[in-house]
Amino acid sequence: MRERLPGLFAAVLAVATVAGCSSGSSSEPTAGKTLITVADMPPTTQQNVRQQFLDQVAAFEKQNPDIDIEPRESKWEAKTFAARLAGGQLETVFQVPLTEPVGMVKRRQVADITGEVEKLPHASEFDKRALAPATDQAGRIYGLPTSEFALGLVYNRELFGKAGLDVGKPPATWDEVRAAAKAITKKTGVPGFAVPATNNTGGWIFTAMTYTFGGRLQQETGGKAVATFDTEPARGVLGLLKAMRWEDDSMGTQHLRNAADLAKDFAAGKVAMMIATPSSYTEFATQFGGTPEVFGMAALPSGGTPATLLGGKVAVVSPKATATERAAAVKWIDFFHLKPKYDPQFAGSVAAAKSADKVPIGFPYVSLYGATVAEPVIEAERKHANVPVANFEPYETGVAAQEFVTEPAVAGQDTYAALDTAVQAILTRQDADPAGELGKAEEKAAAALDRAQR
């Protein structure tokens, strides 16, 4: 889902990129020009963001007079993608979840853009961890990330202080999380740790925790992805949750809620620790009325493996694009998605505009580039920071040493839905058996994976 951009931000983008804007769209190619179609244009209900998008199209066409862009509102959907590709209806450029490129590359549903990417500014300075989800084992590139996030541990600094814990040294392992949660509940009566368990968010968080124990929820067998839930790492996660819930009594009694409900409770000081993204600070401060100084964030704790779940979107190119169209498409991806991530001056102007609109600026994110490129951009943005940047330092330090593991590649939401039931069982029934619940969840997911790969 594209973030709605406030009015001033949209205005600055327009001024910064183009003078004398037009719609930029064209239904027919002009003689001698290359026409490409681009998906993900914001709908008319988001008028200022839509205009910003069209302004960018006009600016691109002005810089590249041999290319015409036809923007479209369509978005990638798993159920219709294959039919649209076969019917020649697919846009030249479109975005997909970070989980999709691996399967799409195998099915030859996206173009190899290695040659075009190698010609981009700072091409040799991409962070390989960020580029990995769209790169095959031979090093060929099939997409460019447009946004990525890495999960971490969000904690309430005030409750940590009341429990006598070091607010500047949050838990780095799950054993430390358990000890801190127990201490917070004992001293304050507030649940020390909580996880969501509905709307597939229980399975999503469970998956991230399993990665930190070295586990995976799918593996490839005979050319197909199969569910691998009942493993030692996964049983370790459910065992930890069961011990915190029933032995330590540090997870409270409210468990059938989704991630948004949990975020609201965290902002109200009703939960001391949860797993979330750095950008969750935005809803914490602007939607749920949380106190900025209370918000703290660390890297996802380790169960023996320094890893975290990586999510986001990737811009890819239709496999039916000609070489000229492919080159134009990658130029557009660079112009629209990548430039704000490698051009400090442009990034600074965007951050200033957002800050003026009281949009949170300064929390960390997964940069697509290595430190040489990323740090000047971050420095330019943080001149306009309006969040407690120092409170994110444990996250930034920890995540730098973690492996980024992407979400399950096949039937991801069905996988999460199946795992929701296992998490719910452990948190609501004291006699629930981790291995038994994982086995039942695996059976549900196996059927979904089979359907998805027919």
Give the pLDDT mean for 193-201: 95
Cα angle value 142/5/377 (rounded, 5°): 60
Q: Which two tokens stand for residue 76?
A: 């990638």
Give the pLDDT mean for 213-223: 91
- Exposed, middle or buried, 211 (CB in 10 Å: 0-12/13-18/19+)? buried
Q: In percent, how much of the chain has pLDDT > 70?
A: 93
Give the pLDDT mean for 62-81: 91
Predicted confidence band at 28 (pLDDT cuts at 50, 70, 90)?
A: low
User: Is it the case that residue 22 has pLDDT exceeding 50?
Assistant: no
DSSP secondary-structure letter at 243?
Answer: I
**pLDDT for the residue numbered 163:** 98
Q: Which two tokens stand for residue 377?
A: 């951009």
**pLDDT for the residue numbered 27:** 53
Full 3-state SS string of 247-285: HCCCCCCCCCCCHHHHHHHHHCCCCCEEEECCCHHHHHH
Q: Is the pTM of this model over 0.85?
A: no
pLDDT tens-digit map of 382-399: 999 999 999 999 999 999
Task: Report the distance separating Cα 368 and Cα 129, nearest Å.
Answer: 8
**pLDDT for the residue numbered 39:** 96
**pLDDT for the residue numbered 14:** 40
**pLDDT for the residue numbered 60:** 95
User: Is it the case that residue 12 has pLDDT exceeding 60?
Assistant: no
**pLDDT for the residue numbered 157:** 98
